[in-house]
Amino acid sequence: MTTRISGPSLFSADGGWGIHIGKTLKPRVGRVDLFYQNTKVNGGTFVSFNNSAGISKFRIDWDPSNGLHSHPPGH
Amino acid sequence: MKVSITLSEIGTNIIHMSNSIVKKGFLFKKIKYNKEDDPMPRYIKLLKHFVRGEEMFFGFYRTDGINLTNEEWLKYDKEIPEYFQSYGRYELLVETAEKKGKQKTYSGYLAVGSLPMNDKTYELIPWIFHYHLETTLFSPNIDWETFVQSYRDYMKHGASDFIINGFTDFLFTYADSGGFSVEFNPKMFDKNVVYQEIAKILNE
C-alpha cells in the first residue's frame, strides 16, 4: 500500500533521484544536484551545491511545511 | 522551539519540532541550524523517553553535512558505517529501475541499519542525523528482511507508511537539516498526552 502525498512533479527528475552535474568523492553526489525528492517531508530540493568531498554547502528546498527555503552552511 | 502538531491526511499524528533560525529573504526564507541553542540534546532526550525495545531500525536517504565541518564530515563518513557494522547491521542499497527500456542502477542514495540502543549509540545519533539528509528510525514490529525490502521502495513511501503498514507504532524522522518529527498511530497514542510529554522534555 502506498499512501505518500506526492510533492510537485518538478522533483521527479530521473525517477526522483535527481540530476547530477560534476563529480565529488561521494559516488552519487555531484558538485551540483538538481530536482530530487525528499519523501519524508513530502518535498524536494531544487538545487544543492556541494564541495569536492560531497558536503552540501547551500541548498534550496521546497516542502509544504516551510515552503520555498534555503539552507546556508550551518557551521 | 517551534513545535507543531498535525493530523496527516492519511490518519497518523505528526508532531514536528525545529529550533532553526528562520530569516525572511527576497525570494525565499533562509533556514539555518541554531548552533547557539542546539536542539540536538533535547531530541536525544525525546528519543530516550519514547524509544521502546532494545533495537532500532534506521533508514537513510542521501548525505547532507551542511551542519558539519570538513573534519567532522570525514570523521563520521568513516565512523558511522564502521559503528553500524561493529555493533549492528548496515547495508548500502543498490536499486535498479527501467529507464527508456534499459535497466539503470542507483546506488549510494539509500542505506539501512540497525543498532542496539545504549549510551554509545545515543552519543552517535546527533552525528548520524547531521550526516544524512533524511534519517528514519523506529523500534520495529517487523523483521529485518521486511524492512530492507520496503525501504528499497523509498520513492513510493512517505513516513506514514511505516505506521499504516504496522512496521512500528512510533516513528522518528530527522530531515531538512534540523527538523525532528515523531509520528504515531492515533489509535494507540493520545496526541495531547504525547504533545504534553514532548513539551515537558523540551522545556526541562
pLDDT digits (tens, 9 = 90+) for B144-181: 999 999 999 888 888 888 999 999 999 999 999 999 99
- Mean pLDDT of the region B59-75: 96
Is residue B98 scored above 80 in pLDDT? Answer: no
Is residue B17 scored above 50 in pLDDT? Answer: yes
Backbone φ, ψ for residue B177 (5° rounding): 60, 35
HEC string of A12-69 equals HHHHHCCEEECCCCCCCCCCEEEEEEEHHHCEEEEEEEECCCCCEEEEEEEECCCEEE
Joined together, the cell numbers standing for residue B203 give 522545556
pLDDT of residue A10: 78
pLDDT of residue B46: 96
Q: Is A71 exposed, middle or buried (0-12, 13-18, 19+ CB in 10 A)?
A: buried
Q: Which tens digit of pLDDT belongs to each residue from A4-58? A: 555 567 788 888 899 999 999 998 899 999 999 998 888 999 999 999 999 999 9
Q: What whole-number distance in Å separates Cα of residue B60 and Cα of residue B86?
A: 18
Q: How confident is the model at residue A3 (pLDDT cuts 50, 70, 90)?
A: low
Pick the residue of A2, A3, A52 with the most B CBs within 10 A to test the interface with B by mutation.
Answer: A3
Contacts of B63 in chain A (CB under 8 A): 26, 29, 54-56
Hey, is the C-beta of B156 within 8 angstroms of any chain A C-beta?
yes
Considering chain B, what percentage of its residues have pLDDT values greater than 90? 75
Q: Which residues pair with A19 in a beta bridge?
A: A34
> Which B-chain residues 99-118 have CB contacts (< 8 A) with chain A?
99, 106-109
Contact A29 B63 (CB under 8 A): yes
Which ipTM score applies to this complex? 0.90
Is residue A2 scored above 60 in pLDDT? Answer: no
| Domain count within chain B | 1
Contacts of A3 in chain B (CB under 8 A): 10, 157-158, 160-161, 164
Residue B196 vs residues A2, B82, B108, B147, B203: alpha-carbon distances, Å? 31, 37, 39, 31, 11
Q: Domain residues for B101? A: 2-202
Is residue A1 scored above 70 in pLDDT? Answer: no
Instruction: Name the pTM for this structure.
Output: 0.93
* Higher pLDDT among residues B204 and A62, named by residue: A62
- Mean pLDDT of the region B93-101: 76
Contacts of B74 in chain A (CB under 8 A): 53
Residue B100 vs residues A28, B97, B103, B104, B108: alpha-carbon distances, Å? 21, 10, 8, 9, 22
pLDDT of residue A6: 55
Ramachandran region of residue B47, left (φ > 0), alpha (ψ -120 to 50) or beta? alpha
Kind and range of the H or E element at B175? strand B170-175
